[in-house]
Structure formats: structure tokens, C-alpha cells
């Protein structure tokens, strides 16, 4: 079993749709959580950090459920420019600050 | 441009050759990471430096791979006796101690023939 698992998709949605991605992690000692976005043949870029209380940034909402060990990302009113691969990232901040584990990503295609 | 830079951007080599990649992190970042990514997969952690100290290496990293960060600034990743399975995108990232956010460079795409 992978340490960080994501539904690979692809998710194909029309513009304006709401789409949600989930990610599960296996290490209960994980302390830091992120969503990164990666466009085709480009480097990953931070989309948002994920906090225990949940956080929102415009059309994007991230949630963390420590008890169930999963993270979610909700995208509302999706735009064509949201088409990308979304990577879930989990880190062990306290015991091993260096290593972050990436999921394999969920691919989103937003269509006109 | 004050972001993370990597050179070369592309490298084609023959099996058995040695290759070396360079990463220049964001100047004030003291942490530097190397990852490998293949098509359809997420970045896979290879190794991590804090200043000049290499603090962790992945168990998956064979002894053909070596990384250095001699002065705590730029880093090099060398692959000796390359194999076709080494073909991948090699990503470098940097961060500031106390901040978990990693900033990635554009990567070096390696093709081993």
C-alpha cells in the first residue's frame, strides 16, 4: 500500500462544475499537509496548505480529517485554467522535517 | 529570476555513462531536496540537505546515485553507470527552515538510451 493514495481520475467536468478530490495517508504521525498543482511537463507548485480547521482560498477549500487520515480538496465554479494534475503531499514535520511524500496525483480536465 | 534553477533542462545519454545535474535553490533557503518523477507518478523523494549536511537518503536510492551540497548553496546530483530505468524528470526543491512549503525548479529531464 502506498503511503499517500489518490484517485488518479481523470476527472472530466464542465466549466462551472464543483469537483472534489480525496487523498488518504497511512502514517498517523504525519504533521503537514499540502495540495500542489502540476501542469503538463511543468514543475509542481503549491496550491494551498491544509490545516486541521480547514481552510479556503477563493474557489478552493481544503479539509483535513486526522481521525480517518484523509485530506480533501474542493474546487467550486471550475475554470478551464484549473485543468491540471493535483498532488496531495504529506510530511512528517516533527520527526523528519525533510521528507515529504507525494501522491501520484489526480488529473482534472475542465471542458467548455 | 529568484526561483529555483536547474541545469541542464534536458539530458540524453547512453547507458553506462555518468551524468551530473545542478540545482541552485532560492538564495535564502537552507533546505534542498531532490526528487525523481516518472510519467503518471508523483515526485519520489531521493534525498534532502539542510545547509551542507545530507540528512536523509531514500532507501530506494541506489549507490549509483550521489548528491552533494558542499557550501550549503547549490547542489549536484550524479548518477553513475546510467541505466534505462533512470530515465525520468529529476526535480529539485528548496525551502526555508521552519517553513514546510517547498519551491520546485523546472527539473532536468533525463533520457537514457
Task: Look at residue A4 in the predicted model and tell me its pLDDT.
Answer: 94
Phi, psi of A93 (to 5 degrees): -65, -40
Substitution target in A7, A43, A89 with the highest count of B β-carbons within 10 Å is A43
Over residues B37-94, the pLDDT tens digits come to 999 999 999 999 999 999 888 887 889 999 999 988 999 999 999 999 999 999 999 9
Task: Look at residue B97 in the predicted model and tell me its pLDDT.
Answer: 80
**Contact check, Cβ <8 Å, A100/B42:** no
Mean pLDDT of B87-105: 90
Count CA within 13 A, CB hemisphere, residue B64: 13
Q: Is residue A109 within 8 angstroms of chain B, CB to CB?
A: no
Neighbouring C-beta atoms of residue A36, cutoff 10 Å? 25
Q: Is residue A40 within 8 angstroms of chain B, CB to CB?
A: no
Run means of pLDDT, 10 residues per run, chain A, 112 residues: 88 96 91 92 92 91 94 97 96 63 95 95
Task: Look at residue A97 in the predicted model and tell me its pLDDT.
Answer: 52
Q: How far is CA B103 from the centre of its chain?
A: 13
Q: Is residue A27 within 8 angstroms of chain B, CB to CB?
A: no
**Contact check, Cβ <8 Å, A103/B50:** no
**Contact check, Cβ <8 Å, B41/A91:** no
Concatenated DSSP letters of chain B = --S-EEE-SEEEE-TT--EEEEEE--TT--EEEEEEE-TTS--EEEEEEETTEEEEE-TT--TTEEEE-TTSS-EEEEE-S--GGG-EEEEEEEE-TT----EE---EEEEE-
Interior angle at CA A73, CA A99 and CA A68, nearest 5: 70
Cβ–Cβ under 8 Å, residues B31 and A98: yes
Cβ–Cβ under 8 Å, residues B31 and A76: no
Cell of A60: 478552493
* Chain B hits for A105, Cβ within 8 Å: 41-42
Question: Is residue A50 exposed (0-12), middle (13-18) or buried (19+ Cβ within 10 Å)?
Answer: buried
Cell of B111: 533520457
Q: B22-55: b or e for each residue (b if 16 or more CB lie within 10 Å)?
A: ebbbbeebbbbbbbbbeeeebbbbbbbbbeeebe
Task: Look at residue A95 in the predicted model and tell me its pLDDT.
Answer: 43
Amino acid at each position: 500500500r502506498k503511503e499517500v493514495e489518490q484517485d488518479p481520475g481523470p476527472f472530466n467536468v464542465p466549466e462551472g462544475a464543483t469537483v472534489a478530490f480525496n487523498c488518504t495517508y497511512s502514517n498517523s504521525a504525519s504533521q503537514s499537509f499540502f495540495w500542489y498543482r502540476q501542469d503538463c511537463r511543468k514543475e509542481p507548485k503549491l496550491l494551498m496548505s491544509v490545516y486541521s480547521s480547514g481552510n479556503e482560498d477563493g474557489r478552493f477549500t481544503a479539509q483535513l480529517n486526522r481521525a480517518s487520515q484523509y485530506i480533501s480538496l474542493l474546487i467550486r465554479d471550475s475554470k478551464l485554467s484549473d485543468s491540471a494534475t493535483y498532488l496531495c503531499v504529506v510530511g512528517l514535520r516533527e520527526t523528519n522535517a525533510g521528507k515529504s511524500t507525494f501522491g501520484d496525483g489526480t488529473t482534472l480536465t475542465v471542458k467548455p | 529570476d529568484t526561483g529555483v534553477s536547474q541545469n541542464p533542462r534536458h539530458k540524453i545519454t547512453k547507458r553506462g555513462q555518468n551524468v551530473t545535474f545542478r540545482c541552485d535553490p532560492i538564495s535564502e533557503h537552507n533546505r534542498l531536496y531532490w526528487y525523481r518523477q516518472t510519467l503518471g507518478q508523483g515526485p519520489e523523494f531521493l534525498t534532502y540537505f539542510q545547509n551542507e549536511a545530507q540528512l536523509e537518503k531514500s532507501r530506494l536510492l541506489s549507490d549509483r546515485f550521489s548528491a552533494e551540497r558542499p557550501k550549503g548553496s547549490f547542489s549536484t546530483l550524479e548518477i553513475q553507470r546510467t541505466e534505462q530505468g533512470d530515465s525520468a524528470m529529476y526535480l529539485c526543491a528548496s525551502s526555508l527552515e521552519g517553513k514546510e512549503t517547498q519551491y520546485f525548479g523546472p527539473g532536468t529531464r533525463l533520457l537514457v538510451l
